[in-house]
Structure 1
C-alpha cells in the first residue's frame, strides 16, 4: 500500500587543492575536482576535473574527465573528455584524450591519441558511401 521512497543522492562535489608549497609523492584518488599548484609525483585519478596551475608540476599518470593545464606535466595523461593547454603549459609524455584545445605558446611534446574522432569519421564515410 505504501511504497518506499528512494532517495536520490547527488554526486559529491569535492574540490581538492594541492597548495603552492606542497609536495606529494604517492597516489591520489578522489571523486571530486583537483587544483594542483604544488608538486605531485605519482598517480592522480578522479572522475572530475584537474587543473594544473602555472606553479603546478605533475610527474606520473593522470586519469580524469577533463583538465586545464597551465603548468608542467610529464608522464601518461588520460582525459575522457577535454584537455585544455594554456599558454604557459609544458607537456611531455603520452596523452590519450577525446578533445584537445591548445592556446598559442603552449609546449606540447607528447604522443597523442584522440579517442572518438576516428569512429565518427568512419560513420560519416559509410553514410556518404551508401548515398552515393
Structure 2
C-alpha cells in the first residue's frame, strides 16, 4: 500500500442514500454505506456498511463486510464477515473471520501460504473466465 494511505483514515466515503452505477477504481481506505452497481477496485481496505449493497466484484487489500455483496470478493490480507453480512459470490483470501448468522452462497478459498494463495487465485480466475465465456456463448446461441 502506498505510504500516503493508512489503515486508519478513510480516503473515500460513500454515504447512505448514495447510488452509483459503474465501476470504481480507487486508492486507499474506502467506507461504503450507499449502493453501487459495479465493480470496486482499491489498493487499500474496504468497509461495506450494514445498510450498504454492492452488485459487483470487490478487489481490495482487505474487506470488512456488514451489508450485502452480490459478487466476488478478492482480498489477500483478509475478509471479515459480520452477522449482518450477505455474500452471493466467491471469496478469495488468506484469512477469514465469520460471525454467526452470516449468509454466504459461493466458494470460499482461504490459503495463508503466499505461493499457494497466488496459485489458487490464478486457477480460480481462469475457471471463472471459462465459465463466463461458455455462458456468453450459450446465451448468444438462443
> Cα RMSD between the aligned structures?
2.0
TM-score, with normalisation over the residues of structure 1?
Answer: 0.77
The runs of 4+ residues in structure 1 deviating greater than 3 Å are 115-120
What is the CA-CA distance between 1:47 and the residue it aligns to? Answer: 1.1
* Structure 1, unpaired ranges of 5+: 1-8, 121-132
TM-score (norm 2): 0.72
Q: 1:20 aligns with which of 9, 16, 38?
A: 16
Paired residue for 2:42?
Answer: 46
1:35 alignment partner in structure 2: 31
Q: How many residues align?
A: 112
- Residue of structure 2 equivalent to 1:111: 107
> Are residues 1:76 and 2:72 paired?
yes
Structure number with the higher helix fraction is 2
Bigger Rg, structure 1 or 2: 1
Unaligned runs of 5+ in 2: 118-142
Normalized per residue, which structure has more strand?
A: 1
